Amino acid sequence: MHHRPVLARAHNKVSQGVVVKAQNPPAWPLPVSVAPDALSGIQADFSQEWRRVVDAAGKGELTPLSDRRFGSAAWAGSPQHLLMAHLYLLSARALSRMVDAVDATEPLRERLRFSVMQWVDAMAPSNFLAFNPDAQQKLVESSGEVLRNGIDNLMRDLKRGRIQQSDETRFEVGVNVAVTPGGVVYENDLLQLIQYTPATSTVHARPLLIVPPCINKFYILDLQPENSFVRHAVEAGHTVFLVSWRNPLASDTDGIDQATWDDYIERGVLQAIAVVRDISAQDQINTLGFCVGGTMLGAALALAAARGEQPSASLTLLTTMLDFRETGILDVFVDENHAALRDQQLGAGGLMSALELANTFAFLRPNELVWNYVVGNYLKGETPPPFDLLYWNADSTNLPGPFFAWYFRNTYLENNLKVPGRVKTCGVPLDLTQLDMPAYLFGSREDHIVPWISAYATTALLRGQARFVLGAAGHVAGVINPPAKNKRSYWARDSDARLPGDPHAWLAGAQEHAGSWWPDWADWLSGHAGPKVKKKARLGNARYPVIEPAPGRYVRVRAV
């Protein structure tokens, strides 16, 4: 998340855009400079600290490091390697200070900061067998076996085009992930619609439709039973429907590679809403969007409102941006040149590859999602442990080019969705301020894809009563936080009658609660889901019978 946006190669990554970016950015690279007094100060501090570290090493007084890359006993027990690690971290801090002191605009400084981070992280001595005492020790202890295993792992990953982050042999979609019972009750060339089997004898009359991002597989919300958001909603007495987006392949010949933003809104989200209303015999349903799925859901409901329709009784948005003004680290890769390139490459057809998207997001946190596995898989010859979330993370999806090009320009680059009437969908101007249903808005405090202040910015667009909740952890871990594990925490206010315009003012007045935010959301949703009624004996209806069991065919298609 999935979400999010969206590009790749070290200099071709997406952001979740801001207000209209510079339309004619200056050529790259730009000359930059550091004020002489600032540079002198950095150099003096660096030299002084260098001498201190070297002197401490000479006296055998270097302290072990808490940085997990250098935290093992092998590093602590090797004075020369420990010295190398200390000097590396010292150099990294000096480079970071130099970037902060650059005389440049903040966007340029952010680009420099990101580029320097990539090089610094890549050059860590822990990433090289010749400089990593931990890996060397394992090589000797295994009589060279870890080297053979590491080469095997490297050749396997080169073949598949990505680094393995989890033991993928331990998971299978529909077998031990995405296993909540249900059936596919509708499909077209863009999606399958899943209806889940009720888990309670009575259910709320008004059903819930979940719209996940099309940039990832839906089962992040239905991993294993103990951490399935879908199962939690079903067990709370809701009739749950969920969109499973198709994963287009280069071998497809039905024109899916030409699908547009309009297609995904009209024949995707709005069609799913229509089917759920038909099956449930309810004029209004509850809707939930996650990440990009939330952006699409907001646009779809604005289109419905412009047509005089109000199909959603309530709206839940999880780590979603409707206002792309503040977009975090991804913003450094968005400019007119990049958008024009994508328009030319993909605007008329083609696929934005899953591999490019996945590599982009991995290099947003390279130490955690790249170099950690380079060391483990290749230098130490290890197989990463099974982890359902990382298995899902590797199961990426392609995107139709026209959809991606439109989305990149109108959200990340130009931030058009938030301005009433600026952007049209299906020929109709959109106005998000016309959405006045009650809303539950969730942000993750450490989210690097959708900064929580951007998730909070939605409160200024929607006109209905909104409840904002802030979870601990990041983009995915903050959302997938089942109550049974009693982990992490969330912040909320007892009363959301008046939400301040300043997100930090909101946080100052919020209370921290231990554990999962899921029960808070379930309590809120029950107030908008209508009375309890006897569950139906069968899924679907006469017009929309079950096509196949959940999780369906579409989610099983792998891109890489």
Residue numbers annotated as active site? 291
Question: Burial level of 336, CB count in 10 A (0-12/13-18/19+)?
Answer: middle
The Cα–Cα gap between 432 and 430 comes to 6
Backbone angles phi, psi at 549, to 5 degrees: -65, 155
The Cα–Cα gap between 524 and 233 comes to 12
Largest CA distance in the chain: 82
**Alpha carbon of residue 542 to chain centroid:** 37
| N residues, the chain | 560
Q: What is the DSSP string of 277-321?
A: HHHHT-S-EEEEEETHHHHHHHHHHHHHHHTT---EEEEEEES--
Helix (H) or strand (E) holding 340: helix 336-346
The Cα–Cα gap between 494 and 313 comes to 22
The Cα–Cα gap between 432 and 323 comes to 10
Contact call for residues 557 and 256 (beta carbons, < 8 A)? no
User: What does the radius of gyration of the chain's CA atoms come to, in whole angstroms?
Assistant: 25
CA angle 274, 280, 283 (to 5 degrees): 60
